[in-house]
Amino acid sequence: MKYTEHSLNILTALEFNGIGNAWIIRNLSHRPPYEEIVALLNNKLPKKEQVTNEIFIRVRKQIEQKFIEIENYCDGVTAVGEPDFPLIRGNVPDSDKPVVLFYKGDLSLLSKKNSNVAVIGLLNPDDHTCHDERKVVQKLVEKNAVIVSGLAMGCDAVAHKQALLSSGATVAILPSPLTDILPASNRDLAEEIASNDGLLITEYYEPPKNHNDLISRFIKRDRLQALFSDAVILSASYTPESIDEKSKKIDSGSRHALEKAKQYGISRAVIYDENNKENPKYDLNRELIKDKTTLVINPHQPEDAINQILQEVEKTTTSSSSQDIQSSLF
């Protein structure tokens, strides 16, 4: 398993009270030595929580020891400031940006050279929804888009499976460590993704502390689906007001991801046609269509909308690349 002292230093710093992702990005992106990190921590922490070099090293060794438990499940760890750390799309606040990622598979799939499109949706799609989603994913793969999703049951799994069936690349963003992939019913799918030049990625190397921590991880996973994608496509989902006699659970993961996409300035699209106007599973699709910036993909004729999405992605990528080149000159 590949990892650096820098990634260990960041994980160690996160163990101290009051240290979050925004602080890490502001202070540790330049990969300082641990002695400098200790000084920075002591500038932040109250006197009764001051850190010595010895304490920092002890905590770091404890974390490194835990890596032994995951080394057979994980190809590597990457941290903000390292050359292979994935580039984030959109205008994302530092507090939302990930700082350490554990991965299995091809990390380069999250580079800016690719067109990454998230395809997400509810946990209990009907056959009609699955059929429409598969058609859209197949078209995206034909145009060399990388399919991003969250490995959840339902629409997420449909997106990953269709990408694989279409010989495309897919990225699964997990709310759990690679040693305990959730949901358990999709562990074989996760292995298939990693074995077929795809990517599994997570912020976690330890199990959740409790149920609330687990729920928090699912919500945090949703933001990654947005910030690692150039566009987010909704297959189908509910709103909080939805009433569906066929489903007791009105899931919310898609809403979280799409809200974050809007916040970050990342393109949003929905799969929809008028045949679904009475179906509560498309309540969120209809709500998003009210936002005139949301692109509507007709599943019977998806090509024009998909071309428009990918053209916008290409413009954004070209603009970002130009800015990166200009920045490197100064």
pLDDT for 244 equals: 77
Domain membership of residue 90 (yes or no) is: no
Are 75 and 201 found together in one domain?
no
| 115 residue type, one letter | S
pLDDT at 242: 86
Query: Which residue type is seen at 165?
Result: L
Same domain, 208 and 262: yes
Q: Kindly state whether residue 30 falls inside one of the protein's structural domains.
A: yes
Q: Is residue 178 one of the residues assigned to a domain?
A: yes
Count of domains forming the chain: 2
Instruction: With respect to residue 98, please indicate whether it lies within any of the assigned structural domains.
Output: no
Q: Are 101 and 177 in contact (CB under 8 A)?
A: no
Q: What pTM did the predictor assign? A: 0.93
Strand partners, 268: 232
Last residue of a domain, one of 16, 51, 85: 85
Tokens 């509560």 belong to 280
pLDDT number for residue 248: 64
In a domain, 327, yes or no: no
| Same domain (yes/no): 140, 268 | yes
pLDDT in tens, the chain (330 residues): 999 999 999 999 999 999 999 999 999 999 999 999 999 999 999 999 999 999 999 999 999 999 999 999 999 999 999 999 999 999 999 999 999 999 999 999 998 788 999 999 999 999 999 999 999 999 999 999 999 999 999 999 999 999 999 999 999 999 999 999 999 999 999 999 999 999 999 999 999 999 999 999 999 999 999 999 999 999 999 998 888 777 766 677 899 999 999 999 999 999 999 989 989 999 999 999 999 999 999 999 999 999 999 998 887 765 554 444 333 333
Give the residue from 36, 57, 85 where a domain finishes.
Answer: 85
User: Is residue 95 in a domain?
Assistant: no
Do 298 and 165 have their domain in common? yes
**Is the same domain home to 81 and 110?**
no
Q: In CATH, what number is assigned to the domain containing residue 157? A: 3.40.50.450
Do 153 and 301 belong to one domain? Answer: yes
Question: What does DSSP assign to residue 2?
Answer: B
Exposure pattern of 46-78 as b/e (b: 16+ CB <10 Å)? Answer: eeeeebeeeebeebbeebeeebeebeebbbbbb
Evaluate whether 313 touches 267 at the Cβ level (below 8 Å): yes
What pLDDT, on the 0 to 100 scale, is given for residue 228?
97
Query: In this structure, are 54 and 193 located in the same domain?
Result: no
pLDDT, position 172: 98
Q: Is residue 94 part of a domain?
A: no
Is 131 in the same domain as 212?
yes
Q: What is the pLDDT of residue 253?
A: 84
Residues 50 and 194 in one domain: no
| Same domain (yes/no): 125, 272 | yes
Pair (17, 112) in one structural domain: no
* Residue 144 belongs to some domain of the structure: yes
Q: 289, exposed or middle or buried, with CB in 10 Å at 0-12, 13-18, 19+?
A: middle
Using the 3D structure, point to which of 85, 112, 139 is the last residue of a domain. 85
pLDDT at residue 214 in the model: 93
Q: Are residues 310 and 165 in the same domain?
A: yes
The whole domain housing 229 covers 104-321
